[in-house]
Amino acid sequence: MEWAVAFGWGGRIAVVVMLAATVALAAWNVRTLASKRRRAALLGLRLATAAALGLVIAQPTWVSKVEHAGGRRVAVLVDASASMAQVSAGARRWDAAARAVTELARLHPVDVHTFGTRTEHVGALAGLQGVLPDQAHTDLVAALGSLVDTRGPRGIAAAVVISDGLDTEQLAVSGSGEAPPLDSAVTALIERLRVPVHAVFIGDRAPVRDVAVVAARAAPFGFTRTFMPLDVDIEVSGYGGRREALTVTVADNGRPVLTREVPLDGPPRRTVSFEFQPLHVGVHVIEATIAALPDEATAANNHAWAGLRVVRDRLRVLHLAGHPSWDTRFLRLHLRGSPAVDLVSFYVMVGQGAGAYVSADDTTLIPFPNREIFEESLTSFDLVIFQDFPLGPFQVEQYLPQLREYVVGGGAFLVVGGRQALAAGGYYGTPLAQWLPVRLASLAGDDVGYVDAATSLALTPAGQHHPVTALESGVDANAAAWTRRTLAGRNTALAAGEGGSVLVTDQGGHPVIAVGEVGEGRSAVIGTDSLWTWAFPPTAGSEARDETRTHYHRLLDQLTAWLLHDPDLDRVRIEVPVDPVDLGSAALVRVQVRGGDGAVLPNVLLRYGLAPLHEPQVEPAQWSPPLTTNEQGDADLRIQPPGAGLWLLTVEASIAGQPVRATAPLGVDASGRERARCIPDDRALAAVARAAGGKVWPWVPPRTGVPIATAELADGGERIHTDLWSHPAVLTVLVALLGAEWVLRRRWGLA
Amino acid sequence: MSCPRPRHTDFRIWRWAWLVGLLSAGAWPGGARAAEPLSGGVHIAVLRVGSAGPDVASAVASWAQELRLRTSIEVVAAAPSVRPDEPALFAYPLLYWAGDRAAPALTDLAVVQLRHHLATGGSLIIDNTGRAEASQAFDQSVRRELLRVFPQSLQRVPANHVLFRSFYRLDRAVGRRADTHDAEGVRVGDHYAVIYTRNDLAGALLRLPLGGFALPVVPGGEAQREHAMRFAINTVVYALCLDYKDDHTHVMHLLRHRRSTRAPVTPVTNAP
């Protein structure tokens, strides 16, 4: 409580001098009265009048800081995330937190909130009863923000966070060492609170034997076949001095792709860095796993996931040709027509017996860098093309295992035929023949593996609905377009292969274009070297020429896109969330259905189902009820996953009576990040307390209570100003004093 | 790449048999005749604009022989001839127009077809076969008609252009004559669709029935003839490979760049 007056020290002195002069003048004025009693009465009245007048002039105000009913409260934020259900020092952390709240309530008036994924106000201590620590995230910054928004006009005296410190959001701390500095937004938020923020740290560092994957961290998007960093934060507890190694494995959509051994002994918090190469466009769920140790506390925290969206920046093509030809020339023109293509070509430029005419000094010939290509750089290419390319030169046959590994691992491989390719190129009986979509036969009799003859074409039933062969809109129009196309020759000794689909044949039913899946990759065969005649058509009419050229480019574009798993070519496209969804929440998925010509297809019947991602060959256990696409060809799905884990979502659309399927990964998180770390960590709590002028205590608050705000109150409404000079009684007293003095002076004969 | 082609292709045997057969029969160089294009074979089709002379087809056959001897290109020896206004023009992406006198004006249809041919991937090699010197009349005819086909005129091909290293390393474009060391061309997109030499390329290539060269080469003699042959080979390789050789200046960079981004991580050995 304090006084306040209307003016400063100079004004106050002037008022005192004026009042003193008034009293002195009054004393001089009453000197003629004989009676001392009368002189004292008049002088007393004048003094009282002067005092009342001074009161009015000074305008004094009585300022009081009034505590409202119950006073300001201490806000208590109790961590209700799933990690608080774990046990530390023999007790459940949540129970320890409740005891800390009880102790605080004994020392301060408290206002209790729980926080985790969301912040909820429970009010009094009793409000904690019935609350379960099961929230999937810990977000202390969001909780402090909620406190700023909801503290009310009376403000709070302090905030106390009770937590094991395992924040999963902005304040998540990984690795070892100090917590990183708070960012400016968090600091500004703390300043807006204007009260100390303390913490009661629920936990200790008693060693338990456990290894955990705290997080798998990757950029939210990447580029196909471009290496990108992937950091896996691991936490090791209670294994000091052990010589075993941990095996950290990284899987891409359920397929193991990288592994690394790290010593068990070492710092408790470590980051294992990988370089990861996504192969396909689309959503990838990257899972990092530590092989469980036999004596660790729990294996539930031995894995973590990261979502990643992969796009294609450039198309890198390795083009090997057996000789320069018009077919290589026009394919080269086609590929070079796109600025997004990095084309690395090697042609066999000289024939046998050319040595007398060709020397390295006179020509620009270079040796074929087979080792650099097949041993070191093969995986950097999106597409490998053998165009009329025999296996004999350059000892390519010895690199077929690498080529197979590339294709099986997700690569794209195209064989363009000719007199030196396929059976004519010595492919028969080699490992390469095993992953082609056609079956090769040995050459018999006069068969040289190629026949020069005008060849009419026809679509097979598979080709009628395949996106690669969709040259025109509509099944009939497309089939008619293919019957108008001819070739000048084709490879022989080809037949439909297991696992492959023959899309186009000649009139005799011999395969001309075929595609197939090879492990994670795809391969295709174009059994002719005269496809270039479409790009440079011999037909006379300009309209027909243009249509044929268009078909040449469209066929190659679509074949390339199919080989590369380009989702733009998928007739059923699925957009799934990149990040894993929380268990219990619905996954919002959009499905779009298009025809072979890219036009949207409304009113298409759909169904979908989930199967474990690690067993992709398994059919969904249960299919959804049928639903249909809207006028835009879309269908929005709300999928309730049956449990946590990685799922493969399969959507099946019925297009022209044919089932067409598409799949996409779907991660479902059951507090995975919450359970990933089992060792409480006070670093984030300490950082917040330090920034907010607070302190951190382990387990319980101090017996004397937590320091509260003593400076300016949180809200202006707490200060009460009472104006004493403007009270009516002051004026009444002043008038009464002046009137009494006037009456007495008249009675006693003074002027 | 410089390695030889494989041994197991029967086609190569046929090729040598073809050469032997021609020599023994004295059948080459024969007259110009039409031929069905092979899907994989490369034809050098003689463009008939006025009279090209009887020796042109023979010179083309010799040209094809040199290409087959020195390169892996499967060149068809027979030189078909085609008029620019024929539909068959589009069966032959590579055209050869030789002349030693004034050429008649192209018909409108020929101009349209030739423009479409060259704009959609075709190539045209023009050879001024004037005997003593380049024929001014033919030269004027060529420049006049090309201006009808394309809006831009002939330009000198720079000495550092890939045409001069598409196969052989060359520093000049000579033929039977060496009146000029330059070649001229018309660019379509990012490549020359028309190459024009005024040095009588055909004359340097032309052989007698028994195999000897038909005409002397001036002023450089046989060394200049070899140079002319190399230029003739470069023009065909350029038509087929375009800027392929330019790629090779970047190949190792591309390969090294890919390697440098890789970290020493261990691939999973039991991955499917």
In this complex, do A324 and B93 lie within 8 Å of one another by their Cβ atoms?
no
Instruction: Kindly determine whether residue A274 and residue B68, on different chains, have CB atoms separated by under 8 Å.
Output: no
Question: A225 to chain B: nearest residue by CA?
Answer: B258
Closest alpha carbon to A332 in B8, B85, B239? B239
For the segment B204-259, what is each residue's pLDDT rounded down to a tens digit? 999 998 889 999 999 999 999 999 999 999 999 999 998 887 776 556 655 555 43
Stretch A629-651: mean pLDDT:
88
**pLDDT tens digits for A121-132?**
888 878 888 888
Domain count across chain B:
1
Q: Which of A233, A201, A89, A284 has the alpha carbon at shortest distance from A673?
A: A233
CA of B72 vs chain A CAs: smallest distance (Å): 4
Chain A residues 214-233 with a CB less than 8 Å from chain B = 226-227
Average pLDDT of the residues in A664-681: 73
Single-letter amino acid, residue A533: T
| Residue B9 predicted with pLDDT over 60 | no
Question: Residue A280: exposed, middle, or buried by beta-carbon count in 10 A (0-12, 13-18, 19+)?
Answer: buried
Question: Residue A570 pLDDT more than 60?
Answer: yes
Mean pLDDT check: name the lowest of A251-255, A445-449, B171-175: A445-449
Residue A525 has pLDDT above 70, yes or no: yes
DSSP E strands in A670-747: the ranges are 696-698, 719-723
Cα–Cα distance between A696 and A477 in angstroms, integer? 76
Q: Could you give the CA distance from residue A388 to residue A529 in angstroms, rounded to a whole number?
A: 7
Whether residue B256 is contained in a domain is answered as yes
Determine phi and psi for A300, rounding to 5 degrees.
-70, -20
Count the neighbouring beta carbons within 10 Å of the beta carbon of residue A522: 23
Is the minimum CB–CB distance between A245 and chain B shorter than 8 Å?
A: no
**d(C-alpha A7, C-alpha A13), whole Å:** 10
Contact at 8 Å (CB) between A523 and A413?
Answer: yes
DSSP code at position B159: T
Helix-strand-coil split of chain A, %, nearest 5: 30, 30, 40
Please give the structure tokens belonging to residue A411. Answer: 């690569």
Specify the higher pLDDT residue, A483 or A3: A483
Contact: A323, B72; criterion CB under 8 Å: yes
Query: Which A-chain residues 345-364 have CB contacts (< 8 A) with chain B?
Result: 345-354, 357-358, 360, 362-364
Instruction: Judge whether residue A169 has pLDDT over 90.
Output: no
DSSP state of B71: S
pLDDT band at A64 (very low <50, low <70, confident <90, very high): low
Residue of higher predicted confidence among A655 and B205 = B205
Q: Which residue has the higher pLDDT, A91 or A607?
A: A607
Segments making up each domain of chain A, as ranges: 2-60+724-747, 73-205+680-717, 217-231+240-311, 315-353+361-563, 572-672
Output DSSP code: residue A373.
I
B174-to-A15, A108, B131, B138 alpha-carbon distances in Å: 117, 103, 14, 18
Contact indicator for B197, B183 with CB cutoff of 8 Å: yes
pLDDT above 80 for B11: no
Residue B78 in domain: yes
CATH topology match: A217-231+240-311 vs A315-353+361-563: no
Distance from CA of A344 to the nearest CA of B (A): 6
Phi, then psi, of A347 in degrees rounded to 5: -115, 145
Are the C-beta atoms of residues B5 and A351 closer than 8 Å to each other? yes
Please give the Cα distance from A694 to A702 (Å, whole number).
13
pLDDT band of A135, cuts 50, 70, 90: confident
Is A545 in contact with B90 (Cβ distance < 8 A)?
yes
pLDDT tens for A311-370 read 888 888 999 999 999 999 999 999 988 888 888 888 988 877 666 677 777 888 887 788
Paired residues of A440 in beta bridges: A494
Q: Residue B28's pLDDT band (boundaries 50, 70, 90)?
A: very low
Q: What pLDDT band is residue A738 in, cutting at 50, 70 and 90?
A: confident
Residue B83 lies in a domain: yes
Using CA atoms, how far apart are residues A63 and A721, in angstroms rounded to an integer?
5
Residues near A289 by Cβ (< 8 Å), separated by ≥ 6? Answer: A213, A248, A249, A250, A251, A302, A303
Most B CBs within 10 Å: which of A419, A530, A614, as the mutation test of the B interface?
A419
Per-residue CA distances from B173 to A2, A11, B52, B97, B207 (Å): 106, 108, 22, 17, 20
- State which residue of chain B sits closest to A422, comparing Cα positions: B9
pLDDT band at A294 (very low <50, low <70, confident <90, very high): confident
**DSSP letters for A605-648:** EEEEEEEETT-TTSPPSSBPPPEE--TTSEEEEEE--SSSEEEE
Average pLDDT over residues A230-242: 84
Which one has a higher pLDDT value, A157 or B197?
B197
Place of tokens 């991937």: B121
| Residue B60, pLDDT above cutoff 50 | yes
Select the residue of A360, A364, A372 nearest B255 (Cβ to Cβ): A372
| Mean pLDDT of all residues in A501-508 | 93
Does B265 reside within a domain?
A: no
Higher pLDDT, residue A211 or A32: A211
Question: How many residues are recorded in chain A?
Answer: 751
Q: What is the mean pLDDT of residues A553-566?
A: 92
Give the pLDDT of residue A283. Answer: 83
Assign domain A73-205+680-717 to a CATH class. Answer: alpha beta
Fold of A217-231+240-311: Immunoglobulin-like (2.60.40)
Domain that includes residue B84, residue range:
24-260
Q: Judging by DSSP bridges, how do beta strands A383-387 and A228-237 pair with one another?
A: unpaired
Backbone angles phi, psi at B118, to 5 degrees: -75, -30
Domain contains B19: no
| Correct CATH for A572-672 of 3.40.50.1820, 1.10.3470.10, 3.90.180.10, 2.60.40.1930 | 2.60.40.1930
DSSP state of A113: E
Average pLDDT, chain A: 84
Residues 407-436 of A with CB under 8 A from B: 408-409, 418-420, 424-426
Question: For residue B219, is the peptide bond before it cis, meaning its omega torsion is within 30 degrees of 0?
Answer: yes
pLDDT digits (tens, 9 = 90+) for A459-475: 999 998 888 998 988 88
Neighbouring C-alpha atoms within 13 Å toward the C-beta of A365: 25
Q: Measured between CB atoms, does A368 come within 8 Å of chain B?
A: yes
Across the interface, which of B5, B87, B255 has its CB nearest the CB of A369? B255
pLDDT at A568: 77
Sheet holding A658-669, edge to edge: A581-582, A658-669, A645-655, A605-612, A627-628
Q: Is A332 on the interface with B (CB under 8 A)?
A: yes
Q: What is the pLDDT confidence band of residue B82, given thresholds at 50, 70 and 90?
A: very high
For the stretch A386-430, pLDDT in tens is 999 998 766 788 899 999 999 998 899 999 999 999 988 889 999
A3 versus A11: the higher-pLDDT residue is A11
At A362-389, the pLDDT tens digits run 888 887 788 888 888 898 899 999 999 9
What is the reported pLDDT for B39?
52
Quote the radius of gyration of chain B (alpha carbons, Å).
21
Please report the ipTM that was assigned to this predicted complex: 0.81
Q: What whole-number distance in Å separates Cα of residue B220 and Cα of residue B232?
A: 17
**Encoded tokens for A11:** 């004004």
Q: Looking at per-residue confidence, does A725 or A364 come out higher? A: A364
User: CATH number for the domain including B80?
Assistant: 3.40.50.12140
How far apart are the CA of B224 and the nearest CA of chain A, in angstroms?
Answer: 15
Q: What is the pLDDT of residue A387?
A: 95
The tally of CA atoms less than 13 A away on the side-chain side of residue A38 is: 15
Quick: pLDDT tens for A190-220: 888 888 899 999 987 566 678 888 888 888 7
Between chains, do B6 and A347 touch, taking CB under 8 Å as contact?
no
More confident: A222 or B206: B206
Q: For residue range B141-154, what is the model confidence (pLDDT) as tens digits?
A: 999 999 999 988 99
Q: Give per-residue pLDDT as tens, A257-280.
A: 999 999 988 888 889 999 888 888
Does residue B143 lie in a domain region? yes
Using CB atoms, pick whichever of B69, B245, B266 lies closest to residue A258: B266
Question: Chain B residue with minimal CA distance to A358?
Answer: B70
* CATH for the A315-353+361-563 domain, from 3.30.870.10, 3.10.20.600, 3.40.50.880, 1.10.1270.20: 3.40.50.880
User: Does residue B190 lie within any of the structural domains?
Assistant: yes
